[in-house]
Structure 1
Amino acid sequence: MFDSEAAGCIEAMASAVRAESAAIGARLKAVARLYAQRCRDYEGRQHWAGDIFDAVAAEVSAAQNISRARAGVQVRMAVSLFERLPRVAEVFAAGDIDYRALRIIIARTDNVDDEVIGSLDEALAERVGRWNRLSHNALRDRIDKWVAMVDPAGERVPPEVADQRYLDIDPHPTAAGMALIGGALHAMDAAALQARITAIAATVCDEDPRTTAQRRADACGAIGRWETSLACQCPDTQCPNRSVRDGAAQIVLHLLAEQSTLTSSSTAPGYLPGFGVQPAETVRSAARGAKLTPVRLPATAPEPGYRASAPLTDFLRWRDLTCRWPGCDAPVARCDLDHTQPWPVGLTHPSGLKHYCRAHHLIKTFYTGPLGWTDHQRPDGTIIVTAPTGHTYTTDATGGLLFPTLARPTAPLTTTSSGAEPTASPHRGAMMPKRRTTRDQDRRARIDRERRHRLDINAEHERQHQAWLAATYQPPPF
């Protein structure tokens, strides 16, 4: 007797997996169709700094409320899938493979020549349904084997390890006030950093209550502040190691918090750009000995010039905190201050200013007209963005959500008294920064470079094989 209830769970699970693949397939197909449409609408803009790819990514990120980077990944995948691997796309939409397998297939076939990609697409579509259970490495190897048979130069070249060095510092996913650090460095650089951390961690006395691991972690903060020692936390008030030895430079960090948090009358958290919300105790600890500067609310009257004053710029940075484009979370440190209505019709005032990252600033400025973007700003900083399709998206100021004082409505503005907004010049696009090469040309150059490298690797393998045969060959006796 079979367990019918459990059987129903299994069937629902399998059905959901297939439905998930079908839904993702439909989404990627829509992205690919949008890209093809915009290539026709925006013909001739491939050399623009904000090119067609960026324009489509902007629409995708707004529609799905995701970051520009994630939207860009979808655009690249969608175009590659439906232009180069339509049979694999059908298998995916049928639910025979999952998203993980699809990403591996697209990545490993990217260098295959356009003349033979069709035959590889057919071969993979017949087999990948049986490979879905394989591990990442096993699936990669199966795909690489078929790539090598169809197009030996199209097999992806392993990246140089040294070229993959990086250092990431990110907010801790679960612990507010903490961060995670990881990366890959040159061995000599890592050795120097290791020695520096060890030396600083050893500047406290033996009674310091922290573990060695904790002192090493704290030493990283000392390095960031250009300090050459840690402040000992032992109970001896006369300990000579209680003071910190400063280095030659001063590091400035900006932390936003309510006054009530600093006076301990509130437990409201603060905000550290790049690392998010910080607990009240972290804010109060950081404030000891720090320079405290109040964020001044803006004046009612607009400012006379194009550039915002330092106090107004400071207010807008804290009010916005990130790019105001739908889905974008680029920090204001990497953003431009944008007049919602072009200056001088649009006044220099918080009701008419907000931040856009450079990519979205270019999209808003140069993709105008019937197939362009428009935006409207409310006095509380809310932005309503209208896409070329007529869809509207609303974004609130992140700082205003965290600290309501920053979202208080400022004076409503429309235009200056000098008249209506001027009509955009038909030659506006001439002012768009240009690329030296298009995105497609860059991709083609990268593929050609990797294909030449793969041919060199294959030739060297063959040379070594022939040398081995010559060294081990024993002629038959006569």
Structure 2
Amino acid sequence: MGEATREESTCIAQRLLAVAELYTRHQGALADMEWCLVDYCAATAADVSAVQNISHARAVGQVQFACALAYRLPAVAKVFVRGTIDFRMVSTIINRTDNVDDALMPAVDEAIARHCEKWMKLSRPKLRDRVDQWVAKFDPAGVRVPPKVEQNRYFDVDEAAPGMAFASGHLRAADGAALDARLEALAATVCEHDPRSRNQRRADAAGALSRLETALVCECGRQDCTAGASPADATAGSTVVIHVLAEQGTLDGSSDNPGYLRGFGILPAESVRAVAQTATLKPLTVPSGVRADPGYRPSVKTKEFLAWRDLTCRWPGCDKPVDNCDVDHTVAYPVGPTHPSNTKHYCRIHHLIKTFCGWNDQQLPDGTIVLTSPTGYTCTTEAHGAALFPTLATPTGDLDLPPADPDPARIAMMPRRKQTRAQDRRERINAERRERTELIAEQQRQHQAWLAANYKPPPF
């Protein structure tokens, strides 16, 4: 186990240092990208996400982490490569030294590298204290300041088990109290014979709240129910549209194949049939051998098919839903027509990377994409919707098109940033260093005030 643990740490270190080396090579191969929307970090992350099959956001974080390890903490990196410290420790060191002045960083790096092997058994809080101690010795203003709680507000609704969603968040206390009271009030609008538990009614009340309904539909099934809401009332206030894809057999009960709720994943057959009772049903046709749409923009029919066939961005590891994606021509228009065999979805960042950074893609009639990076790495992605519903993988027609020809000179047309990534980082660090300096000064003022009030010099 010990040997495997050390080998694991060594492999992680080697992977990260390879990412940092790839970043350096991108800087040498791609000119003047610092101010581009797809900068060196994003261009490197495109390779990383494709090779490791991870999301672009995770790849960007890995590039930044790798560069910090390789170029700000080379001494710690050497210890990491030996396998005597692990990723948990390295991530703590990188995070806690992020605000250290560049001129003082080599001394901090050497000091931590000399001692970090002895810290492996420490808990996370104790490890953080040891790193902060060395930062404070060399650069007191570089000690990290805890983030303000209010800055971490969020509210997410994510997919959970099939047919279910998971909601979580940090709200302002007043907003949380109002939401809690509203859910409680909605949950209380059913009669006493409703079979659901209080928690189940509150969960269902969240759906009613999202549809602007003023009451829950009671599920007691009694003729003498005293609750006021009826199924007809339940849809009266609805202003939100959701889209579900399912086979006809699932709807008519001849099949129990699940459906798909866009953005939340698989929806069990019984849930599909329940939703269908009050839904507008619309058949989805698979275009086959059709003529291309006139012009650059796809028709409503083509766009609808592409959305269900792809479901997400087609870049390896990217799960951005099609609602947040662009329709990309594999072979650029007008040489490449607006046709289902030549169009698919890329999120904006991957659309820009494909267009401006030398990537080449080929599209097969069933929607499969063969993507080749500027370094020669090739990967294949199938459309997520077509994988779940094989009918959507029906070939839409062979097109006799020339291969796409990436033009490196097009990078001059890349959208520009208002600030570089380095400027954003420096702004954050300067603000946090100022805050730490003010905290230190306030502590010193309080100490001096305490001495003035309590210290009595010894008599002579």
Which range, TM-score by smaller chain? over 0.9
Matches within 5 A, 1:23-34: 23-34=11-22
* 1:378-457 pair list within 5 angstroms: 378-415=364-401, 428-457=410-439
Question: Contact conserved, 2:356 with 2:407, CA < 8 A, in 1?
Answer: no
Which residue does 1:59 correspond to in 2? 47
Deviation at 1:96, TM superposition (A): 1.3
Given residue 386 of structure 1, which amino acid in structure 2 is its aligned partner?
T
Q: Is contact 1:345–1:421 with CA below 8 Å preserved after alignment?
A: no
The 5-angstrom pairing of residues 186-335 of structure 1 reads 186-241=172-227, 242-243=229-230, 245=233, 248-298=237-287, 300-335=290-325
Deviations 1:220-255 (A, max 9, x none): 111112111111111303424251545645110011
Q: What RMSD, in angstroms, separates the aligned Cα atoms of the two structures?
A: 1.6
Per mean C-alpha deviation after superposition, the further-off stretch among 294-303 and 71-80 is 294-303
TM-score in terms of structure 1 length: 0.93
Return the letter of the residue paired with 1:431: M
Counterpart of 2:108 in structure 1 is: 120
Sort the Cα spacing of 1:424 and 1:310 in 2 relative to 1 into closer, same or farther, 3 A: same
Question: CA shift at 1:381, angstroms?
Answer: 0.2
CA-CA distance at 1:132 after TM superposition:
1.5
2:127 corresponds to which of 135, 139, 156 = 139
Alignment equivalent of 1:467, drawn from 431, 443, 449: 449
> Alignment length, in residue pairs?
456
- C-alpha distance in structure 1 between counterparts of 2:40 and 2:3, whole Å: 37
Match of 2:33 among 45, 50, 53: 45
**Are 1:91 and 2:82 matched, yes or no?**
no
Label 1:421 to 1:111 Cα distance change in 2 as closer, same or farther (>3 A): same
8 Å CA contact 1:346, 1:414 repeated in 2: no
Paired residues of 2:96 and 2:132 also in contact (CA < 8 A): yes
Deviations, residues 304-333 of structure 1 (Å, cap 9, x unaligned): 111001111000000000110112111111
User: How far off is 1:92 after superposition?
Assistant: 1.2
Q: CA deviation at 1:414?
A: 2.6
Tell me if the contact between 2:365 and 2:395 (Cα under 8 Å) persists in the aligned partners: yes
Q: Which amino acid aligns with 1:269?
A: P
Deviation by residue 1:96-147 (Cα, 9 ceiling, x = unmatched): 1111111111011011011111111111111111112211111111111111
Secondary structure of the structure 2 residue equivalent to 1:351: coil
For residues 148 and 457 of structure 2, the distance between their equivalents in structure 1, rounded to whole angstroms, comes to 41
Query: How far did 1:424 drift?
Result: 6.8
User: Is the 8 Å Cα contact of residues 222 and 228 (structure 1) preserved in structure 2?
Assistant: yes
- Cα deviation code 1:61-102 (max 9, x no counterpart): 001111111111110110000001011111111111111111
Identify if the C-alpha distance between structure 1 residues 204 and 456 changes in structure 2 by more than 3 Å, giving closer, same or farther: same
Q: Structure 1 23/426 Cα, relative in aligned 2: closer, same or farther at 3 Å? A: closer
Residue range with higher mean Cα deviation, 238-247 or 177-186:
238-247
CA contact 2:208–2:216 (8 Å) conserved in 1: yes
Query: Which among 332, 335, 343 is matched to residue 342 of structure 1?
Result: 332
Rounded Cα–Cα distance in structure 2 between residues aligned with 1:430 and 1:99: 39
Structure 2 residues without counterparts, runs of 5 or longer: none
Q: Is the 8 A contact 1:226 1:251 kept in 2?
A: no
Q: Which amino acid aligns with 1:219?
A: A
Q: Identity percentage over the alignment?
A: 55
**Distance across 2 between alignment mates of 1:164 and 1:73:** 18
Distance of 1:45 and 1:235 partners within structure 2 = 65
Once the two structures are superposed, residues 156-207 of structure 1 have per-residue CA deviations (whole angstroms, 9 ceiling, x without a partner) of: 11101001111121122xx321221111100111111011101100000011
Partner of 1:364: 354
**Letter in structure 1 aligned against 2:396:** T
| CA distance in structure 2 between the partners assigned to 1:39 and 1:19 by the alignment | 30
1:3 corresponds to which residue?
none
Output the CA distance in 2 between the equivalents of 1:423 and 1:118: 45
> Larger deviation: 242-251 or 89-98?
242-251
Q: Cα offset for 1:423?
A: 7.2
Aligned to 2:458: 476
- Give, in angstroms, the shift of residue 334 of structure 1: 0.9
User: Contact 2:372 / 2:378 at 8 angstroms: preserved in 1?
Assistant: yes
Distance 1:43 1:156 in 2: 34
For the Cα contact (< 8 Å) 1:335–1:355, is it kept in 2?
yes
Distance 1:422 1:393, change over 3 A: closer
3-state SS, counterpart of residue 244 of structure 2:
coil
Report the CA distance between 1:431 and its aligned residue. 2.5
Question: Residue deviations 1:325-344, cap 9 Å, x none?
Answer: 11211111111000000001
Change (3 A) 1:347 1:445: same
Q: TM-score, normalised by structure 2?
A: 0.96
Runs of 4+ in 1 over 3 A off after TM superposition: 244-249, 420-427, 475-478
